Amino acid sequence: MKFKVNEVFHSIQGEGARAGRPCLFIRLTGCPLRCSYCDTEYAFFEGSLREMEDLLAEVRQRLGPPRTGPAVPFVELTGGEPLAHPQAPDLLRALLGLGYEVALETAGSHDLAPVPREVVKIVDRKTPGSGESHRWLDTNLDHLVSGQDELKFVLCDAADYEWARAWCAERRIWDRVEVLFSPAWGRLDPAWLAERVVADGLPVRVQLQLHKVIWGAARTGV
């Protein structure tokens, strides 16, 4: 079983409820979406084919033996859009089999049903400002695990904020799963977003892309 891999790198988790945790990232090549704020265009086509066993061996070498508790090793499958690879669920299942905590970063444009329940699913609900809000499967909400998975909104402007707020309210999303509101880098003022969330009393987590705060927006492999 082979996967086209753009890069494998060890860094910290830059987004979400697990931000700041050391994490090994496997970035697969390819994405059918073209979001207006995409920061990984280099992953659309660049990469090399690798056998799954080769990938698993590298993960074991870089993360070491499995451990339990707060020090459990953490690995994330990202892209691109990793679920554009039909066999990505098999890779996720194999990573779980190594005894690590496993996360998936996905746009919600592909069916989550084949993804193992134990995988932490960080799902990016695209907004109108992304240009890809129509690329969404509503049935994916049925596969999000409360207390584990996250639904993320990258907001480009005030209109995106109001859209995301209304979308969540209509579905009572925040009663089902943790919701993240993130300002699109360089497009929406983080202070404005934080102040609006507080003023409106929204039960969401405001987040920044921590890796960009630390290393800048242009650096890859972090």
Asked if residue 221 belongs to a domain, the reply is no
Is 27 annotated to bind a ligand? Reply is yes
Which regions of the chain are under pLDDT 50?
none
- What pTM was estimated for this model as a whole? 0.92
CA separation for the pair 14, 93 (Å, rounded): 23
| pLDDT at res. 68 | 82
| pLDDT at res. 71 | 78
CATH number of the domain that residue 87 is part of: 3.20.20.70
Is 40 annotated to bind a ligand? Reply is yes
| pLDDT at res. 163 | 97
Is 78 annotated to bind a ligand? Reply is yes
Q: Count of domains in the chain?
A: 1
3-state secondary structure the chain: CEEEEEEEEEEECCCCCCCCCEEEEEEECCCCCCCCCCCCHHHCCCCEEEEHHHHHHHHHHHHCCCCCHHHCCEEEEECCCHHHCCCHHHHHHHHHHCCCEEEEEECCCCCCCCCCCCCEEEEECCCHHHCCCCCCCHHHHHHCCCCCCEEEEEECCHHHHHHHHHHHHHHCHHHCCEEEEEECCCCCCHHHHHHHHHHHCCCCEECCCHHHHHHCCCCCCC
Is 35 annotated to bind a ligand? Reply is yes
Asked if residue 222 belongs to a domain, the reply is no
Is 165 annotated to bind a ligand? Reply is no
Quote the radius of gyration of the chain (alpha carbons, Å).
17
Q: Which domain does 13 fall in, by range? A: 2-215
| pLDDT at res. 179 | 97
CA separation for the pair 77, 30 (Å, rounded): 13
Is 12 annotated to bind a ligand? Reply is yes
Is 23 annotated to bind a ligand? Reply is no
| pLDDT at res. 157 | 97
Is 156 annotated to bind a ligand? Reply is no
